[in-house]
Structure 1
Amino acid sequence: MKFFTFTVLSVFLLIFVACTTNKEVDLIVYNAKVYTVDSNFTVAEAFAIKNGVFVDIGTSEDISRKYIAKERIDAKGGIIYPGFYDAHAHFFMFAELLEQVDLRGTKSFDEVLTKLKIYKEAYPEKKWIIGGGWDQNQWADKTFPTKDSLDKYFPETPVFLSRVDYHAALVNSQALKLSQIDSVKPVEGGIIVADSTGKPSGILMDNAMALVKLHIPPPEERPLLLALRRAQDSLFSVGLTSIVDAGLTVEQLDYLKKFYQQDSLTIRDYAMIAGNRASIEKYIKEGFFDGDRLSIRSVKLMADGALGSRGACLLDHYHDAPTRGFLLHSPKEFDDVIKKLAATEFQVNTHAIGDSANRMMLDTYGKHLKEPEKRRWRIEHAQVIAPEDFSKFAKFHIIPSVQPTHATSDMYWAEERLGADRIKGAYAYKDLLNQYGMLALGSDFPIEHFNPLYGFHAAVARVDHSGFPQGGFQMENAITREQALKGMTIWAAYSCFQERKRGSIERGKDADFTILEADIMTVPLAKIREIKTRRTVIAGQTVFERPTD
């Protein structure tokens, strides 16, 4: 009898201990509306987190009854989504721009000059004046500026000013002199633009920019880290927990590996290798780098330039200029590198804007890829597609990676570039979605604003911040709110081979989530851009919390 009593007591104690252990979690979040973005698009009320992953999702009552937590967050009716994922961005560019002259939104070249003079007075010790973000399409005079005014105000200090798309730059004579550019000469995949006398005007397009960039002093390690942290804080403030870093040099990748190994950065970064020959060879030899927060397993190629600077490669002439744009490398060079990468496990993601560039890359992908559905290769931007080429995204299993705010930024002048017929195949997100079955949504920051809600709004409403145009721009290619949310969460994660780790709120996945003050799935469209992020969480740790009033 004593043995029986002892045995029963032992079993009871074991069950009690086991149950107690099972109930201990690090965090419970309750009293919320939780869009899990799972396969059923389930909406829940609460979840529990342990060791940085979700362990259970359900009602507030069930989660509170089943678990004991070290910390509890009452969401107070807040709206929770999986951590937002920007599928195409430029983290280093954004960080560097924070330390440079920010020319985004300037309304004239005179305003550009005013900002440069203020910057020079504030930082007289700077050996170069570097800036970015100007866009002549937003000025009354839409012609490209020249170096003449820069030479007048900055005769001794070299100046390098990237256009908003980072596919063209304006430099002054001092920068040209340091770079030993004294005449207009051919540049593969680029242009040194000539003035009326046949001399360099100061405008460099695409690969020609590298002739000057080589002479700009690289950032030092400590200031670079501080700038990246500042940029990271901005991203956290709008609910971003993961980004795709679209094209980094070996030096930048080495910095990232060092910073993440030192726990100096927190945001999750899927970094693409900028696709030059030396970098590709290096990483083919070394293989993937796959850490908890940093992943390097893809290559970024650049097929052509940008539509705004007429560098995008088109099948026919621009509607407003006697040029078709240009490729940044020869078709044979692209064929060779695609063939080489297709024989590895590396993902390839190619910037392609014009319909000619998109056709060439889709056909080259299709020529070399074996079992393409497993490779998840991407076309970045997929901005202008000829009617007969849409089906190739499905045929070759190519993921369209698009940035909806490009449509609402470019819509003022895009038809001037493309004409009334060709514009119908531009920014055609619904058509692309219908082909592949999903879209990876990004912002392309700092070219566009980093707030993912701006992209969500542009994808669904197809209007700018002021609600223009009435009725939306090419609304036949708007996508639904559910599709847009998937595009910036689970589909973005899928495009980076991470759908089993993040992109939705499900058991066993990284506990990354965002709490907003209102519901982007139900509020009037005009209110979406006004919604603030209340809290951003990565692996169960709060990285941003908006102060309460």
Structure 2
Amino acid sequence: MKKIILPLLLISLLFSCNQKEKVDLIVMNSKIYTVNEKFDTVESFAIKDGKFVAVGSTTEIQEKYTATNTIDAKNKPIYPGFIDGHCHFYGLGLQQQKVDLVDTKSYDDVLQRLVDFQKEKNTTFITGRGWDQNDWEVQEFPTKEKLDSIFPNTPVAIRRIDGHAMLVNQKAIELAGITTDSKIDGGEFITKDGKLTGVLIDNAMNFIEVPKPSKREQIQALKDAQEICFDLGLTTVDDAGLDKEVIELIDSLQQTSDLKMRVYAMISNNKENLDYYLNRGVIKTDRLHVRSVKVYADGALGSRGAALKDEYSDKKGHFGALVNSYDDLQNLVKRIADSEYQMNTHAIGDSANYVMLKTYDKVLKNKENRRWRIEHAQVVDLKDFHFFKNVLPSIQPTHATSDMYWAEERVGSERIKGAYAYNDLLKQYGKVALGTDFPIEHVSPLYTFYAASIRKDLHGFPKNGFQMNNALSRENTLKGMTIWNAYANFEETEKGSIEVGKVADFIILEKDIMTIDGNQIPHTKVLETYINGEKVN
């Protein structure tokens, strides 16, 4: 009898195994934030052909599926892959090949970094980015005299952290043909005592022709940016302003699997890009999506280029300016509205926001599901918030914690109430897209999470948080970094949450950012990043 029972048990076990569906990967024993409609948490999921095929408890998944590869998460938390809703991915890569001036504490610190860089690189044109006079003891724009004495024969052009101001030396000025009589709409050549200081604001920077990177340097830039982003848990990036040449390079590298990052490309607003892409229509592959135009309405608050309705509180008679004329903006809006493309407009000051919101409102009245975005929405008149009911706010929380030390000096105690007002914006539209604007800010999406929900800097200042009435809840912050960003990109049916049928982009973190003490959030490590179920870091 025993001889009969044993073979029957073996047959039964084999039959049971054969009934299980074979998948590529099973992940189990985790707290998984699905970010689905109910914001459910589960323990396990199965992946096949790069997509989630099942989500549930560890027991449920193990009973129904078998896989060659299995990950025991050992109770580490898992989230959908983070999406950066506004960044400069290609710019981040290029920055790795230039002078890094981020966190310089004085103008002399800037100069020393330039000297050190040139000793190592010996370039024919020195470029870099990252200085911020607001971080210095003397919070004034630098002037070029010291730069001229150190580099009399080598042109130097270094951008401010926000990219809306540039310091150049006399050699660069001579090459550009700039004089004290030079004028430009939407920009400024700053002078002092009738002489050029070397500081150029917004459109004035267009006079400086920085050498174009080689194709080899472009490819390396994209690969460098990808490595940095994967290490920090990003699986999709919205690059806010790319030209056709770079977009096509990204596509070619993705096709050969040299670039695995998913890219939502906003085309830069110029004639060549508009003529090519608006006529061609939306471009969509598994990893590249081209369907939006990045437009500038004004400059930045830190360099006083943001367009304000009333004068700057710390500079009488100065209002900032639109960087594109009103008529040009009106014509552009109509052209984009007649295409399939989304319009994503950089608007910092309350005047720029008002102009664009009113224009959007007029053009979008009879158009549904356009998902047009205001990028930054940084200072908004309290009377104008209602316009966001039909306009998606695309905001960068670390701007608030970077600017909070001096922002009220710029705009005053009343206007600051409508500045960095993320929760008020959320109440209007019902969603917000969250990003970093890197390399202007740090790449880490965990800094974004911290700044949005805790509203402090990395040193824990201010003690009670900055304007906490406009902090986002942790749940809404996570949505803003995943499913709402996917929505902003017209991709919510394919990514942004851990659900059956969606691409298997997910990350494993060291700690649960939804429950740990807020001060631990920015120091939490990304352990692993996956795209299509493939580990990429």
Is the TM value for this pair above 0.5?
A: yes
Residue 379 (str. 1) matches residue 355 (str. 2): no
Q: State the Cα distance separating 1:221 from its structure 2 match.
A: 1.2
In the other structure, the counterpart of 2:448 is 455
Q: State the Cα distance separating 1:20 from its structure 2 match.
A: 4.5
Q: State the Cα distance separating 1:470 from its structure 2 match.
A: 1.1
Cα distance in 1, alignment partners of residues 408 and 531 from structure 2: 42
Q: 1:189, 1:206 within 8 Å by CA — same for their partners in 2?
A: yes
Residue 334 (str. 1) matches residue 329 (str. 2): yes
Residue 146 (str. 1) matches residue 143 (str. 2): yes
Q: State the Cα distance separating 1:262 from its structure 2 match.
A: 2.6
Cα distance in 1, alignment partners of residues 16 and 206 from structure 2: 63
Q: 2:347, 2:375 within 8 Å by CA — same for their partners in 1?
A: yes
1:86 to 70, 77, 84: 84
Partner deviation per Cα, 1:144-171 (whole Å, 9 max, x = no partner): 0111111100011110100000000001
Q: 2:371, 2:488 within 8 Å by CA — same for their partners in 1?
A: yes
2:250 to 244, 256, 260: 256
Q: State the Cα distance separating 1:194 from its structure 2 match.
A: 1.3
- Structure 2 matches for 1:160-179, cutoff 5 A? 160-179=157-176
Q: 2:299, 2:305 within 8 Å by CA — same for their partners in 1?
A: yes
Cα distance change on mapping 1:263 and 1:184 into 2, 3 Å: farther
In the other structure, the counterpart of 1:201 is 197
Specify the SS of the correspondent of 1:278: helix
Specify the SS of the correspondent of 1:166: coil
In the other structure, the counterpart of 2:428 is 435
Contiguous gaps of at least 5 residues in structure 2: 1-13
Cα distance in 2, alignment partners of residues 301 and 257 from structure 1: 22
- RMSD between aligned alpha carbons? 1.5
Cα distance in 1, alignment partners of residues 370 and 32 from structure 2: 32
Partner deviation per Cα, 1:89-140 (whole Å, 9 max, x = no partner): 001111111111100000000000000000111012x111111000000001
Cα distance in 2, alignment partners of residues 511 and 373 from structure 1: 30
Cα distance in 2, alignment partners of residues 460 and 488 from structure 1: 12
Q: State the Cα distance separating 1:225 from its structure 2 match.
A: 1.2
Instruction: Could you list the structure 1 runs, at least 4 aligned residues long, displaced by more than 6 angstroms after superposition.
Output: 16-19
Task: State the TM-score, normalizing by the size of structure 2.
Answer: 0.96
- Structure 2 matches for 1:208-219, cutoff 5 A? 208-212=204-208, 215-219=209-213
Residue 356 (str. 1) matches residue 340 (str. 2): no
User: Match of 1:377, as an amino acid?
Assistant: W
Specify the SS of the correspondent of 2:536: strand
Partner deviation per Cα, 1:299-346 (whole Å, 9 max, x = no partner): 000000000000000000000002000000111110000011111110
Residue 539 (str. 1) matches residue 532 (str. 2): yes
In the other structure, the counterpart of 1:414 is 407
Cα distance in 2, alignment partners of residues 521 and 70 from structure 1: 31
Cα distance in 2, alignment partners of residues 91 and 26 from structure 1: 30
Cα distance in 2, alignment partners of residues 311 and 102 from structure 1: 23
- Structure 2 matches for 1:135-534, cutoff 5 A? 135-196=132-193, 198-212=194-208, 215-322=209-316, 323-394=318-389, 397-534=390-527
Q: State the Cα distance separating 1:21 from its structure 2 match.
A: 7.9
Cα distance in 1, alignment partners of residues 17 and 321 from structure 2: 66
Specify the SS of the correspondent of 1:223: helix
Q: 2:293, 2:344 within 8 Å by CA — same for their partners in 1?
A: yes
Q: State the Cα distance separating 1:368 from its structure 2 match.
A: 1.1
User: Match of 1:354, as an amino acid?
Assistant: G
Contiguous gaps of at least 5 residues in structure 1: 1-15, 545-549
Partner deviation per Cα, 1:197-255 (whole Å, 9 max, x = no partner): x232111111111110xx22211112221222122111111111011000112222232
Identity among equivalent pairs (%): 51
In the other structure, the counterpart of 1:547 is none
Q: State the Cα distance separating 1:372 from its structure 2 match.
A: 4.3
Task: State the TM-score, normalizing by the size of structure 1.
Answer: 0.94
User: Match of 1:286, as an amino acid?
Assistant: R
1:132 to 126, 129, 134: 129
Q: 2:190, 2:196 within 8 Å by CA — same for their partners in 1?
A: yes
Q: State the Cα distance separating 1:183 from its structure 2 match.
A: 2.8
Specify the SS of the correspondent of 1:80: strand
Cα distance in 2, alignment partners of residues 240 and 153 from structure 1: 40
Q: 1:49, 1:55 within 8 Å by CA — same for their partners in 2?
A: yes
Q: How many residues align?
A: 524
Cα distance in 2, alignment partners of residues 444 and 95 from structure 1: 14
Cα distance in 1, alignment partners of residues 171 and 248 from structure 2: 31
Q: State the Cα distance separating 1:277 from its structure 2 match.
A: 2.8
